[in-house]
Every structure is written in structure tokens, then in C-alpha cells.
Amino acid sequence: MSTVTLDIESVRARFSSLRQPIAFFDGPGGTQVPDSVIEAVASYFRETNANVGGPYETSRRTEALITRSRLVAADFLGCAPEETIFGANMTTLNFALTRTAARDWNAGDEIVVTKLDHDGNVAPWLELAHDKGLAVHFADINADTTVDLDDLERKLSDRTRVVAFPIASNAVGTLTDVKRIVELAHAAGALAWADAVHYGPHGPIDVGDWGVDVLICSPYKFFGPHLGLACGRAELLDSWRPYKVRPSADEPLGHRFETGTLPHELLA
């Protein structure tokens, strides 16, 4: 059996921040970035800095950068490029997308979250419930910190609109049975809404294989700049009416849910 040796010193050499006499234990809150990320951001400001839609070179470069970013993001998430959505961070994206998803929901509709969830995938639903008269139910966890799937199934009803869950817990690292949760959600006629923030640095994401409807993560948790990244199933995004300014383009699909000007230097 072949053995792969990791050259720790060569990895450390890619991070200027690690040359300080400091021990970083900040993974759950964000990671240090390699020098290549710092250089990419700086290079954008030096050579390309522009808004989109202009008939000049730097604007065209920025638009090409966004296109490349969607291709890379789609490859990372296992979805189509037009299904990718960029934002300030996971929580901000989640507030925007949950608000959009719930435009046509009615008082008494239900949302199921889990006690394993980070508040970034709980608070948006609680705020919706407060504003629209919805009910939020919490699926319990077992003694081994796995989601109690039987309890989750018991909390589903014909009024359930969303099952929100983490791929992995940011607190204890527990993995969830993604396909089973998706299966339960869809059987109830609900959306499967996944938080991959903590899982993203540790394992491959495949939205298509998992069957989730919406997935959100944070590139700054896996050595990227401070961004949020999401994807939504194309048919779902096409059915939603986004909150956006009127001149903002409707295509690609994911773009209509990106509120405001994209942080182009971070996409670099």
C-alpha cells in the first residue's frame, strides 16, 4: 500500500501568518489564508479593479473572473455553474435565501431544524417564524451526538416546508446521514436545506449526489477569503421571486439572489 507523506514545512511556508510566534486555534471561526490568496486579492486591486457592465478592459476582466469563479465553485459543490450564489458570508446568504423561499408560505407552515445545527441555520428560520406565524420544530440528537432520525421523522407533517440540517456539526464534528435526511424531507414534500460550513474543509461536497435543494458554506473556513457560497437547485431558484434591484440581471439563475455588488477582489 502506497503512503503519502505531507511535507509540513512546505505547507507552513505558504502562510506568512504562520511565521509569527503564535499558535492559531481558529479553525471553527475561520482559517488563515495562504499567500497565494493574499496575492490574488492584491493583484485584482492592482490590475483589474472595476464594476461589471462597462465597455472597457478592466470591467471585461472582472466579468471573466466572475464566470471563472462560478465554474470553480460549481466544481467544488458538485452543481451547475448557474446554480452558484456568492454572498458576504453564510449567515447573510441564509437570511436572504430563507426570506426569499418563504415569500408564499402561510401562517401555520412548519420548519424542522436539528439540535446539532449552528445558529446560522436556525436563527433565520426563527425570524421567519416570528414574522409569518410559522412553527419551528427541533429534531433531537442521540447520546452519541448523531441526529435522532426517528425523532426528525416524527416531527414531519404535511405542513413541513423545510428540513434544515448540518452536514457536520461545527461544535462536535458529528457527520449526519445526508441522504436519509434528504429522503425524509422530500417524502414529506419539504426542501432539504444543508449547512456545509464545517464539513467543507474536511470532505468532498456533491450536491447532485446528495439531492439537497439548497446548500450553503463559507470559503473562509477552508483557506479562502471572507465570502459565503451557496447553491440552489435550478428549478427551485427559477420558481422563486428574488429580492433584488430591478436592473440586476436574471441570469445566471444564482446571480439574481446575490444582493448588491459582488466582492470581486475576493472572488479573485
What's the pTM value of the predicted model, to 2 decimals?
0.93
Q: What is the 3-state secondary structure (H, E, C) of the chain?
A: CCCCCCCHHHHHCCCHHHHCCCCCCCHHHCCCCCHHHHHHHHHHHHHCCCCCCCCCHHHHHHHHHHHHHHHHHHHHHCCCHHHEEEECCHHHHHHHHHHHHCCCCCCCCEEEEECCCCHHHCHHHHHHHHHHCCEEEEECECCCCCECHHHHHHCCCCCEEEEEEECECCCCCCECCHHHHHHHHHHCCCEEEEECCCCCCCCCCCHHHHCCCEEEECHHHCCCCCCEEEEECHHHHHHCCCCCCCCCCCCCHHHHHCCCCCCHHHHC
Alpha-carbon Rg for the chain, nearest whole angstrom, is 20
Whether residue 27 is predicted with pLDDT greater than 80 in this model: the reply is no
Residue 229 or 259, more confident: 229
Q: What is the pLDDT of residue 21?
A: 87
If 0-12 CB within 10 Å is exposed, 13-18 middle and 19+ buried, where does residue 247 land?
exposed
Q: pLDDT tens digits for 167-180?
A: 999 889 999 999 99
Q: Average pLDDT, whole number, for the chain?
A: 94
Q: pLDDT tens digits for 179-222?
A: 999 999 999 999 999 999 999 989 999 999 999 999 999 999 99
Whether residue 28 is predicted with pLDDT greater than 80 in this model: the reply is no
